[in-house]
Structure 1
């Protein structure tokens, strides 16, 4: 604060108000570090006023978005206004003037200049310093005296008033930063400790320790299996360790006043990714067609870390779960806003550049194709091949996608190939929710009944 005050005083800064049409225009100014002005129908023109001020002192622009009733930050001019050379500066950035000299001329060229932002609130949403805090500050246009809240575009403020508004803006930002910091600290203090602490153990030791911890603190583990790329035999040397565990809480605990958590996940930043479901939640997800849970029923026996006989009884009816609910989940994940919509949007933006997919888009395509491969097997009536064997065409295709940049058209062709195969058999997939619900209910109640004791 003192540094800003000293800078203003030593350089005899000048202050001007810039009216902005909307928040999007403000963000563009902050991003591009440029702003612009137009000539009025009659002089004095903003370009001349700003150029003269810039030649003799520091110039600060205080921004206010129309109809937002506040001040959105201030920036320092770093170049003299000049006509736009390439015509790329957006003409919707500066609000039309309405001074006694007449409105800005529609045929006047834009004069753009660079700015260096000192304070803005873009990282706090659409926050701004409310105009209620400045309604007592006065400015003049030469003939009339008014509140600064009624300033026109490019109206100059006296040094004391301009400095006061800049200090208020800076103070308000400091308040927001302090509140955000306190909120984040409170959130960290209230955050529960992670269920499992990371160690430097081997994968086998990690599995044994987390399974033992679940059984001691939550209930018996009826299923433990890999999650993520290991499940599909698509892992690389940099792949994470992903764990999926289903446990059965005691029936008396489930019926009591303090039932256990239904789902426990690793904290952000942990090296080991784990998802732990109580068996009731696991059944809910199976009923809803959650593809990741359905896939556990189709894993090869040698790939399971722990699988009790009761879980194998459930898996005996696995074909029931290859239904419309599961297919719809595969397709939602593949075609959603983080799936083919994002991929095709990227392709459309870069098609003219004739460039291959970026590494990020290759990874996205890899996930999309993996989902579509399983959806294709489902509509074909096949058993689900979760684990891609080393010599399979599906694995070769996925690893090739994951390894390198593909031409945009090839990416489209791969997606369209699977979509066509899925569409051809989509209507033949069973919608058997009631049958699946009866099956799961019987299995779950049998588990609870066998465990129940007071």
Structure 2
């Protein structure tokens, strides 16, 4: 059984933060039934969906499914927290979402017989399933009609006269040279299909770099860049993150960042002693229900299964694009299953393993769309069952204390070794 509730949001900043963290929370009510109790009860018997509306926006901005039940005990600030899997979000250029005017004919009948317009519903008002489905369909139609303007191209961070695969070492070296102008590199590794041992002759060269800007730079008036990404003019796709940003990502369950901590040495191009120490002391702490929820969100959300369904509904679908997206969806579910089982994450799949064969065959188009959808549904059900089981060994969230300890240690060491800092002598 599915349950639907209105979720009122203080502002767009809070909504955007939830898009990133896949987390929401409710406060305890002393005079009425506390929302977290209501959500817990519904979660125990079916699926629970929240339909979001930002205060004063006069619109509906998103739909999310609960991935975990609200915590029984509140945190120090009085919030009962729970994880979400986002089902529908609106792009930045249409952040107000579906206007209330489009739902002016939709209303909820309260227990006392009073008729309440949907737009007037308060936080955690329950909506009948048929009415919620109608509202969500309107939101989907509105979202599909939005045209997102292309961003103007930015100048390349670095260029090469040629960019064929034989220049792999040159690409790495050139990127490292650019990053070292900002700070010291801690780790460099592949970011795309190469990290999963699934590259073919058509695979792009994607790169991921973690660097550390000097502690002195962080204490100065000029803040070092936390993230650098490739532009259209660059010869390779890359993402560069400063170590503070990297720590924020891994402790909030970001799959791509966490995967870098579980790659075998044969895949990593460069790894410092500090990064090896981080992997030894912290990486097991990163395997959480939050990580599984992020994998599921990537697989089933607007850039995964929902986009697949949109493509499949087209009169002349692009089967090549569909095969690749099915491959990405299944890859996320395969890795989510590893974590949900309580296994150590292995993003670099073993050659000739069942998962490796499945993903390569999917990408090559060896299955029908119906067969691929069946495999997605089976994996989704298995992962959700594992992570919701009382015997699931995973914590809800990462214990950040060990990560903070490591970050402070390398920051202090950098400061002590800086001959130009006035207090190190």
The TM-score normalised by the length of structure 2 is: 0.58
1:203 aligns with 2:168: yes
- What SS does structure 2 have at the residue aligned with 1:295? helix
Match of 2:335 in 1: 374
1:343 aligns with 2:308: yes
Match of 1:324 in 2: 289
Match of 2:372 in 1: 411
Query: For the residues of structure 2 that align with 1:400 and 1:424, how far apart are their CA atoms?
Result: 26
Query: For the residues of structure 2 that align with 1:262 and 1:375, how far apart are their CA atoms?
Result: 27
Contact 1:240 1:271 in 2 (8 A): no
Match of 2:110 in 1: none
Contact 2:340 2:394 in 1 (8 A): no
Match of 1:450 in 2: 413
Shift of 1:356: 9.6
Contact 2:252 2:398 in 1 (8 A): no
- What SS does structure 2 have at the residue aligned with 1:444? helix
Contact 1:330 1:375 in 2 (8 A): yes
1:194 aligns with 2:156: yes
Match of 1:312 in 2: 276
Contact 2:288 2:398 in 1 (8 A): no
**Match 2:212 to one of 237, 248, 271:** 248
1:229 aligns with 2:193: yes
Match of 2:107 in 1: none
Question: Matched residue pairs, number?
Answer: 263
Match of 2:326 in 1: 365
Query: For the residues of structure 2 that align with 1:393 and 1:380, how far apart are their CA atoms?
Result: 16
- What SS does structure 2 have at the residue aligned with 1:210? helix
Structure 2 runs not aligned, ≥5 long: 1-93, 95-148
- What SS does structure 2 have at the residue aligned with 1:394? helix
Shift of 1:332: 0.7
The TM-score normalised by the length of structure 1 is: 0.54
CA deviation map 1:411-440 (0-9, x unaligned) = 2211012112102211225335361x1111
Asked which structure has the greater CA Rg, the reply is 1
Match of 1:268 in 2: 232
- What SS does structure 1 have at the residue aligned with 2:194? helix
Contact 1:365 1:401 in 2 (8 A): yes
Distance change in 2, residues 1:399/1:247 (3 Å): same
Contact 1:374 1:385 in 2 (8 A): yes
- Superposition map of 1:73-84 within 5 A: none
CA deviation map 1:197-237 (0-9, x unaligned) = 2342610122122213322x111101000110111111111
Query: For the residues of structure 1 that align with 2:235 and 2:257, how far apart are their CA atoms?
Result: 22
CA deviation map 1:351-386 (0-9, x unaligned) = xx9x99822111110000000000000100111111
Shift of 1:196: 1.9
Match of 2:263 in 1: 299
Match of 2:401 in 1: 438
Query: For the residues of structure 1 that align with 2:239 and 2:361, how far apart are their CA atoms?
Result: 29
Larger proportion of helix? 1
Shift of 1:345: 4.4
Contact 2:205 2:236 in 1 (8 A): yes
Please give the root-mean-square deviation of Cα atoms over the aligned residues, in Å: 2.5
Query: For the residues of structure 1 that align with 2:370 and 2:239, how far apart are their CA atoms?
Result: 37
- Superposition map of 1:84-95 within 5 A: none
